Amino acid sequence: MEWIKEMVFNTKNLMTQVNSRFSFLLFLCFFVSCKEKRELDVFINDLTNNKAEMWDYFYVDSLIEQKNAVSFLFYKNGRCEIYSISVRNGERIAQYSDRPIWKMESDSIIEMLCYNKYKIVSYGRDSIVLRKTENPGVNEVMTLYRVNADWNINQKSVIRRDSLEVALKGRDNPCVIY
């Protein structure tokens, strides 16, 4: 009879150990996922400045060997606008895109404009380094720099772009930036 009591005691002790280990693992998973969520929230707030933020991307056009730049305007609501920068006066000219959205696909993959997916390599307050995940080769690594100056957006180009969006809304267009 004594051995039965000992077996019951050992079983209860074993169950307590299993429950405490399971609870610890559950807490650890919750803590890690919350930390990743906080880091993702911080990245999104930096990217959008909690409302909207503009970032420049500089590149060299290999055909004419000229340095060019485009700007991306990221909104907190998921909209992403693209602007070319005029060589003449530095004005930002709104460009049309049939997919003017961005979203986080995972904690380190951002999808923006035309299904382009980039892995976040590193980011700081004023720069973000992205590596293309699909179709690498052309513009494989892209560094975005926060625009700290006046955005200088050409309003006529915004009206033209917005009217194109309204006119083409609902059409199944290939993803082309005009």
114-165 per-position pLDDT tens digit: 668 889 999 888 899 999 888 766 668 888 999 888 888 888 888 888 887 7
Measured over the CA atoms of residue 34, residue 40, residue 46 and residue 49, the dihedral's sign is negative
Which tokens go with 123? 């980011």
| Cα radius of gyration rounded to whole Å, the chain | 25
Who has greater pLDDT, 175 or 16?
A: 16
Mean confidence (pLDDT) of the chain: 74
pLDDT of residue 129: 92
pLDDT of residue 27: 43
Who has greater pLDDT, 97 or 11?
A: 97
Q: Does residue 61 surpass a pLDDT of 80?
A: no
Instruction: In whole angstroms, give the CA distance from residue 33 to residue 51.
Output: 25
Number of helices followed by number of strands (H, E) in the chain: 2, 9
In this prediction, residue 4 has a pLDDT band, given cuts at 50, 70 and 90, of low
Which tokens go with 120? 């976040």
Instruction: In whole angstroms, give the CA distance from residue 158 to residue 140.
Output: 29
The answer to whether 100 and 175 have CB atoms below 8 angstroms apart is: no
In this prediction, residue 24 has a pLDDT band, given cuts at 50, 70 and 90, of very low
Beta partners for 93?
Answer: 84
pLDDT of residue 26: 41
CB under 8 A, 24+ apart: contacts of 52-61: 52/76, 53/146, 53/147, 54/83, 54/146, 54/147, 54/151, 55/128, 55/144, 55/145, 55/146, 55/147, 56/85, 56/144, 56/145, 56/146, 56/147, 57/142, 57/143, 57/144, 57/145, 58/143, 58/145, 59/139
The answer to whether 9 and 69 have CB atoms below 8 angstroms apart is: no
28's enclosing H/E stretch is helix 2-48
Who has greater pLDDT, 56 or 178?
A: 56
